[in-house]
């Protein structure tokens, strides 16, 4: 997508379609939609349609006008972004996405989106528009033989004259990088497992690293076993596909020696459950079980281009979880890289096993702060549904950095407990710990398991099982992979720049 910035009155913008945001200033009984940008010509063009009541004020409804009088744009698209009192950059992202998806469905290849008057400022609005447009432009129909090219080719972000053009241009470029990186993650998650084996996953990561100047090391079974990653290998041993340990490094000149941030991702390219096999219904979705690893890869793609002055190492443990004569069995005991012994209760609790070795390895590489992401537990989905992802932390300062990241990213996470009561639930009578604590509190016992391997290193755990895949189309995003956590991870990394 070719994106450019224009400082102009809206009436003078020549485009196939000019999209503007309306906000509802009324109440439930009497909506009062009004234009969110100060422009007399656009207000006049919308007067009749607003007065008619055709625009109800419902969030993300769209109204298209052809040949609007007083404007050079061929069309005018009004997008209602909900209540004025609640409007923020989160709604701006969705409104921009709604506009792009509405126009894509009508094969309109270029448009302009107006920057509204936001209390958070024009820079945040520009960033939100660009990120929302990129998210909206992604469609998952990669392998359809009749696939049509509906991609938006050009977008103009229109800000009022008098804005600081250099700052807005910088915000636009940063948002482009983040939006493209989120879509890169979504492309990976969308791939079927026969077209994204652990080996293929690693190769695509290596090529990405080469393109943005990151160091990348890929290790196979011999190295994994030599490093005594018994937890990781226990999952990999049942598959005919070789596992891959992927290590990405961003080490800019002039960065301080500490902190070193560690980003660890679960990369299960297909999860059958192993010997504790999953039900057949819905198993095809289990190609998405590498979404945590893909989020780390997307975040590193953005970090490599945004170039913060902070050292970052990312580790993705990639494998399949398959049942076979070689697969581990319930009751087995595995020895993790850290030396901890693990009793395997359920082979479908495999994500925490690969992350255990990933977290410990990150610490051996010198990472001083850790964050992991994984489609880890169905229990988190039961607790939070598809609205929020779960977040756990063993360190308040690290968690405060993450909350500041969420203020920028607009992604929805909810903190869940990971105290010592949950650790007691995974104590084993034959080994140090069990890989599952039973039915109750499953998201927290899984986090408690991971906490054993983070030890006293500041650590954040993101359980994205309920939010990494959209089960239905929304006006601003297609059904399929969401790319969740990429924006938050990037902002978390940036939050440590100049903080020490």
Residue 147 is a catalytic residue:
no
Biggest CA pair distance of the chain: 78
165-180 in b/e burial notation, b at 16+ Cβ within 10 A? eeebeebbbbbbbbbb
What does 301-337 look like in DSSP terms, one character per residue? HHHHHH--SSEEEEEEEEEEE--STTS--TT-EEE-T
- Are 351 and 289 spatial neighbours (Cβ–Cβ below 8 Å)? yes
> What whole-number distance in Å separates Cα of residue 435 and Cα of residue 425?
10
Q: Supply φ then ψ for residue 360, to 5 degrees.
A: -65, -40
How many residues does the structure list for the chain? 500
Say which of 34, 249, 278, 474 is annotated catalytic. 278
Q: Specify the DSSP element, H or E, that contains 351.
A: helix 351-364
What beta strand segments (E) does 175-243 contain?
215-219
Q: Please give the order of strands across the beta sheet that includes 459-463.
A: 215-219, 244-250, 311-321, 260-271, 369-374, 459-463, 389-393, 413-415
Q: Could you say which DSSP state residue 392 is in?
A: E
Measuring CA to CA, how many Å separate 292 from each of 261, 264, 273, 362, 461? 16, 8, 17, 16, 11
Cα angle 19, 183, 217; round to 5: 155
What does 81-106 look like in DSSP terms, one character per residue? EEEGGG--HHHHHHHHHHHHHHHHTT
Residue 223 is a catalytic residue:
no
- Are 353 and 231 spatial neighbours (Cβ–Cβ below 8 Å)? yes
298-321 in b/e burial notation, b at 16+ Cβ within 10 A? bbbbbbbbbebebbbbbbbbbbbb
Measuring CA to CA, how many Å separate 140 from each of 104, 158, 176, 360, 482? 14, 29, 20, 35, 10
Say which of 101, 352, 363, 494 is annotated catalytic. 352
Structure token digits, residue 366: 């010198």
* Nearest CA among 24, 129, 28, 141 for reference residue 87: 24
Measuring CA to CA, how many Å separate 32 from each of 62, 115, 306, 390, 473? 15, 20, 41, 36, 28
The residues assigned a catalytic role are 278, 352
């Amino acid at each position: 997508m070719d994106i450019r910035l224009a400082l102009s009155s809206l009436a003078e913008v020549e485009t196939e379609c000019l999209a503007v945001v309306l906000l509802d200033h009324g109440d439930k009984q009497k909506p009062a939609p009004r234009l969110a940008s100060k422009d007399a010509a656009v207000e006049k063009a919308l007067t009749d349609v607003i007065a008619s009541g055709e625009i109800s004020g419902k969030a993300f409804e769209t109204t298209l006008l052809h040949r609007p009088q007083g404007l050079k744009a061929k069309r005018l698209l009004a997008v209602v972004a909900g209540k004025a009192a609640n409007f923020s950059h989160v709604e701006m992202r969705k409104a921009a996405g709604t506009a792009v998806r509405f126009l894509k469905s009508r094969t309109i290849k270029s448009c302009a989106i107006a920057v509204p008057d936001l209390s958070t400022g024009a820079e945040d609005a520009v960033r939100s528009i660009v990120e929302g447009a990129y998210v909206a432009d992604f469609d998952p129909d990669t392998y359809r033989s009749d696939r049509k090219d509906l991609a938006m080719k050009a977008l103009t972000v229109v800000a009022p004259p008098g804005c600081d053009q250099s700052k807005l241009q910088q915000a636009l470029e940063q948002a482009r990088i983040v939006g493209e990186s989120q879509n890169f993650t979504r492309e990976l998650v969308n791939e079927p497992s026969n077209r994204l084996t652990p080996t293929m996953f690693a190769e695509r990561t290596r090529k990405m690293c080469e393109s943005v100047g990151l160091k990348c090391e890929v290790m196979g079974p011999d190295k994994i076993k030599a490093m005594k990653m018994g937890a990781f290998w226990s999952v990999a041993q049942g598959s005919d596909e070789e596992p891959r340990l992927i290590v990405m490094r961003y080490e800019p000149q002039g960065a301080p020696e500490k902190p070193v941030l560690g980003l660890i991702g679960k990369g299960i390219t297909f999860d059958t459950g192993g010997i504790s096999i999953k039900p057949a219904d819905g198993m095809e979705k289990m190609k998405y079980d590498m979404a945590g690893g893909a989020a780390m890869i997307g975040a590193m793609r953005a970090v490599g281009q945004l170039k913060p002055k902070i050292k970052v190492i990312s580790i993705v443990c990639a494998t399949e979880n398959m049942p076979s004569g070689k697969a581990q069995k319930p009751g087995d005991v595995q020895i993790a890289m850290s030396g901890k012994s693990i009793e395997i209760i359920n082979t479908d609790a495999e994500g925490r096993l690969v992350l255990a070795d990933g977290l410990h390895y990150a610490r051996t590489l010198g990472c001083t702060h850790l964050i992991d992401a994984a489609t880890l537990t169905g229990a988190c989905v039961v607790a939070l549904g598809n609205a929020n992802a779960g977040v756990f932390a063993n360190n308040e300062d690290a968690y405060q950095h993450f909350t500041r990241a969420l203020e920028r990213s607009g992604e929805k996470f909810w903190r869940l407990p990971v105290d010592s009561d949950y650790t007691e639930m995974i104590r084993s009578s034959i080994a140090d710990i069990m890989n599952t604590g039973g039915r109750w509190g499953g998201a927290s016992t899984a986090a408690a398991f991971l906490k054993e391997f983070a030890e006293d290193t500041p650590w954040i755990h993101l359980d994205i099982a309920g939010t990494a895949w959209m089960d239905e189309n929304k006006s601003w995003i297609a059904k399929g992979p969401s790319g969740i956590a990429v924006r938050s991870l990037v902002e978390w990394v940036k939050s440590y720049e100049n903080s020490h």
